[in-house]
Amino acid sequence: MTRLLIIGPPGSGKGTQAEHLARHFGVPTLSTGEIFRTNVNEETELGKQAAGYLDDGDFVPDHLTNAMVKDRLQDSGLQAGFLLDGYPRTAPQVAELDNMLVSQGFALDAVIELTAPDSVLEQRMLRRAAEQGRTDDTVDVFRRRLDLYHRETHEVVSVYAGRGMLVSVDGSGDPGDIIRQAIAAVEKFLASPRPGA
């Protein structure tokens, strides 16, 4: 039973890494994007409330995000573990996730942080925009997203680092190398004795 969380800035390849890590550890990926889409498409009460924010391009408020994640975490298919992607984004969400997991008798095993210099992330974004013809990937938009990420997740990373459960992986190299490094780093961390374990 492995319960992981992955954190990374826009352009870090977090989605790709999450897929590979989840496959390697034999657990499903649980992303807030997928949770939002499912609730909106199925027109659940929470989905209807979230749709308005998503349609306007706004962040879904914490109370709605928390409720949807809590609902999803109660799925019996997640009893054997999961890899959480995109949540928590803020310190209050960390506390909410703690409560959700404790109520089920669970705890996170490790938090993977993908790191890369902002300049590398920006070049990746520009390359992706050119390859995919994405007009929403402008430098200004990307820099705003990156700034928001740094401001929001700084506390999240600090909390998990303080708990001694943060595994940092350099996400600036070749995707294949990053995957191998991430798997090796997480396996080494999970195999090492931890205080209170």
**104-153 tens-digit pLDDT:** 888 999 999 999 999 999 998 888 888 877 666 688 888 888 888 888 88
The yes-or-no verdict on residue 194 having pLDDT over 70 is no
Count of CB atoms situated within 10 Å of the CB of 41: 10
Domain contains 135: yes
What CATH number has the domain bearing residue 172?
Answer: 3.40.50.300
Alpha-helical segments (H) within 9-117: 14-25, 32-41, 45-55, 62-73, 91-103
Domain contains 49: no
Domain contains 100: yes
38: annotated binding-site residue? no
Average pLDDT over residues 87-108: 92
72: annotated binding-site residue? no
Could you tell me what percent of the chain has a pLDDT over 90?
A: 56
**146-176 tens-digit pLDDT:** 888 888 888 899 999 999 999 999 998 888 9
Domain contains 65: no
89: annotated binding-site residue? yes
Domain contains 36: no
- For 83, the 3-state DSSP assignment is strand
8: annotated binding-site residue? no
Alpha-helical segments (H) within 60-174: 62-73, 91-103, 118-132, 139-162
* Residue numbers of the domain that contains 153: 2-30+82-191
Which positions are annotated as active-site residues? 14, 89, 128, 134, 145
Q: Could you tell me the maximum CA-CA distance found in the chain, to the nearest angstrom?
A: 50
